[in-house]
Structure 1
Amino acid sequence: MGRPSTREAIIEAARLLFGERGYSAVTVKDVAVLAGYSPAMVMKVMGTKAKLYVAAVPDVPHSDVLAGDGEPVGFALVRRILHRRREGESEPWSMVALLVRDSPDHGAAQAELRDRYVNWIAGQIGDTSPARQKSQLVVCVVMGLGAGIRVLGLLERDEMNDADLIRQYGALVQSVIDDPALR
């Protein structure tokens, strides 16, 4: 695979910075430096900081596609979060709350990301209920892990090894998925 396009490099840099610092604390210059381009190039490619922000909102954790790996979804979700921490990759589950809060259009960002994440989880766990309550609960539990690890620095690797965390937190997530009382 070759070098990412200018647009892709700018968006990835913005995604990392917005996820770490939020909208108001990131400048176009910050994004340009991280991406390896001039601020003028960032503006030429993206138009405005607000458009850059919208483009940088992470997709549903596409690297969390779980179909066919044989591991229960709850455990697989936890495993992917820990993998991203270990590899130093951005964490969509911890970024989503910050991205909504700092969005130039809070209501639109909230609706868009809520629907995107809940619908993605619903597809993973087979939740076809109209309210998708179970999917909403799973999103909350998984976002809690992502934010706890990345934002608060909880469950550091020297405190608890990944295998134990996958076993314990994965069981928690899976218990929500498997609960027959939730529809």
Structure 2
Amino acid sequence: MGMAPPRELTRDERRARSREAILEAARELFAGHGYEQTTIRMVAARAGVDPALVMQHFGTKEALFDAVAQLRIGIDEALPGPPEQLGERVLRHVLADVERGPDTGLPVLRSMLTHPHAAETVRCAVAHPDENPLAEILSGEDAQLRAALAGTLVLGLLVGRYLLRIPEVERVGAAQLVKLLGPCLQPLLTGSPDRSCSGPEEPVESGNATDHLAALAEAEQARAAAADELDRRARSALAAGASYGEVGRALGITRQAARKRWPAEVVDNSDCRAC
């Protein structure tokens, strides 16, 4: 007996398939190119359909973007466990959620600087108490601010790893990112300082108040002397022909900051390094 011919899809089934193909193509293109650079024709070509069919399903590019672009930070599964490891669990969960795909957050992140709706979606996900799940679980002083800062840290990681694709950040495994960044996120979630990101705590020296005040005055004199020496050397470098940019780089500040700090110094404008 021969095999029965495959069942012909119904109109509704064909429509559902084409819609899903369009959504998948749009998700990929919005994530890769952003809202402004993605066109209906590009989406149709990627999905293998006619552009008119995309319009039949969604009407406008804005509506298509809304259908695929959502930023949700679902961390319910990361909450159970030791409180001192919450930062690591949150990061591990978010990274796993993105890498499982298809992720609806990347189109929003890619478009957030050029599309008002995407910008508002990201802003709400990070800072709005009803959208940021961390805002619901944190308590204590500055809970809302800490929730927003934690969301900002996670947002920066996602942008650096998946959109900017910073080589060091993209190349390392998720487990290493969790290990390094989890302890830095932890104090925002618990509301208590965590020395793992800031180094060991300096021991408190013994002695009476008079001794500490004398030491404080001595430290201030040393600081003032060092500041005077830095100022003298910066002026000497500028007078010898160094540019503001070079002075700024030596001090770890911007060219504008160096120019503002030593405005009286004359720099040869013909030197392009000062520009």
| TM-score of Structure 1 vs Structure 2, range by shorter chain | 0.7 to 0.9
Aligned pairs for 1:1-183 within 5 A = 5-62=17-74, 64-66=75-77, 70=81, 72-83=85-96, 87=100, 89-90=102-103, 92=105, 95-103=107-115, 106=116, 108-118=117-127, 119-123=130-134, 126-127=137-138, 132-154=144-166, 155-157=169-171, 160-180=172-192
The amino acid that maps onto 2:123 is R
Q: Residues 98 and 43 from structure 1, CA distance in 2 versus in 1: closer, same or farther, beyond 3 angstroms?
A: same
Displacement, 1:133? 1.1
* 8 A contact 1:134–1:176 mirrored in 2: yes
Question: Residues 17-57 of structure 1, C-alpha deviation per residue, up to 9 Å, x if partnerless?
Answer: 11221112111122123334321111100001122122222
Displacement, 1:178? 1.6
* 8 A contact 2:135–2:144 mirrored in 1: no
- Indicate the RMSD between aligned Cα atoms, in angstroms: 3.4
Percent identity reads: 28
* 8 A contact 1:100–1:110 mirrored in 2: yes
What CA distance in whole angstroms lies between the structure 2 residues aligned with 1:26 and 1:32? 11
Say which structure, 1 or 2, has more relative contact order (CA 8 Å, 6+ apart): 1
The amino acid that maps onto 1:99 is S
Q: Residues 37 and 85 from structure 1, CA distance in 2 versus in 1: closer, same or farther, beyond 3 angstroms?
A: same
Query: Which structure: larger Rg?
Result: 2
Question: Residues 68-91 of structure 1, C-alpha deviation per residue, up to 9 Å, x if partnerless?
Answer: 653744323322444356556547
What CA distance in whole angstroms lies between the structure 2 residues aligned with 1:69 and 1:9? 37
Q: Which consecutive residues of structure 2, in runs of 5 or more, have no partner in the other structure?
A: 1-12, 194-275
* 8 A contact 1:19–1:90 mirrored in 2: no
**SS of 1:17's equivalent?**
helix
What CA distance in whole angstroms lies between the structure 1 residues aligned with 2:48 and 2:135? 37
* 8 A contact 1:121–1:138 mirrored in 2: no
What CA distance in whole angstroms lies between the structure 2 residues aligned with 1:121 and 1:68? 14
Task: Give the structure-2-normalised TM-score.
Answer: 0.51
